[in-house]
Amino acid sequence: MSARDRILARLASRLATGADREAAVSARLAGERPDTPRPMQSRTTPEERVEAFIARAVKADATASLIGSMADLPAALADELRRRNLGPSVRAGSDPALAALDWGGVEVSRGVGRIEEPATLSVAPYGLAETGSLAFCSGPENPVTLTFLGETHFAVVRAGDIHAGFEELFAAHRASGRDPRTLNFVTGPSRSADIGQTLQLGAHGPVALHIFVVGE
């Protein structure tokens, strides 16, 4: 008997038996779920959603700005880079939404995160109004290391991709057919309170997170 089989056998011998156990598990994994309470803040209406998302992201120490369309991103990014005294360059993946743009004076290099990355740019396929979080999918379009290695991380999310709660976001994720290695929820820039129990921003990940919310 393998360790696996011994462990499972030990559990089975200590748990109730019966064919309905298997059925209960299958049903649950197929999405049958008892009514589960969720926070009021996960139930924003479409009208209030963007505002709620931004308010919660800002509460988590991110900054955010609204832009009218993807076409406005290069200029908005150039402004933000200048305002932060960063050079006019950014690291990004091969996301088609970015590739289609005219970047003008901003130099966009493509690829994974390197050891020094003053500024990185990723597109988030989802936003979560409930907590002000972004959710990124790893892959060539938006390499996961860009999310963590940028000193300043710029993120783009479409207003229509901001979901009220986890339930809606996960439903959209399943429906999208995406199967990334990582689904990364990001809520504000990185932080640590491990020195002297005092919270400081910019632990291992970004010191700053700026979100461009596109559209509407």
Q: Which of residues 62-91 bind other proteins (CB under 8 A)?
A: none
Instruction: Output 13 or 69, the one with its CB closest to other proteins.
Output: 13
Triad 161, 163, 166: Cα angle to 5°: 130
Q: How far is the CB of 90 from other proteins (least distance, A)?
A: 17
55 binds other proteins (CB under 8 A): no
Do 185 and 134 touch, CB atoms closer than 8 A?
yes
108 binds other proteins (CB under 8 A): no
* Rounded Cα distance, 66 and 216, in Å: 9
45-53, 69-77, 155-163, 201-209 -> range binding other proteins (CB under 8 A): 201-209
| Strands of the 162-163 sheet, one edge to the other | 133-137, 126-128, 162-163
Which of positions 135-194 make contact with other proteins (CB under 8 A)?
Answer: 138-140, 143-145, 147-149, 165-167, 170, 173, 179-194
- Residues 91, 119, 205, 212: which binds other proteins (CB under 8 A)? 205
Closest CA to 128 of 156, 158, 166, 154: 166
- Residues 2, 45, 69, 85: which binds other proteins (CB under 8 A)? 2
**Strand segments (E) across 51-132:** 63-67, 89-92, 107-110, 117-123, 126-128
